[in-house]
Amino acid sequence: MDEALAAYQKTAVGGCTDAPGCQELMESKLRAAKKLRIALAAEDQAEFGEPIRLVRRAERLANRYGPEGLGSRGGYAAVDEPLREAVSWLAVNR
């Protein structure tokens, strides 16, 4: 799980300046977050239920906005919020 969290954090460090760049960054974040979600579930699904739920919420929002919507300011922010909450939860509760 620590490796998956570190990989996500490394991916999340970057920023974006235009819609295609933001779409690419968010898609990378979602791929890394999925790996983190799987690692958390494998370690202890009950203990890490909240961050798992938050990552799933981000994945559902990403599906709703679609790939092109991830590059928009609103779509990016909506999907990024639960991902940030999941990482914050892990920082406080691990």
Cα separation, 37 vs 45, whole angstroms: 9
Cα separation, 40 vs 32, whole angstroms: 12
pLDDT at 37: 98
| pTM for this predicted structure | 0.94
Cα separation, 80 vs 24, whole angstroms: 13
Its domain, for residue 47, covers 2-11+18-93
Domain count, the chain: 1
Within 13 A of 21's CA, how many CA atoms are on the CB side?
A: 6
The pLDDT tens digits for 21-65 are 999 999 999 999 999 999 999 999 999 999 999 999 999 999 999
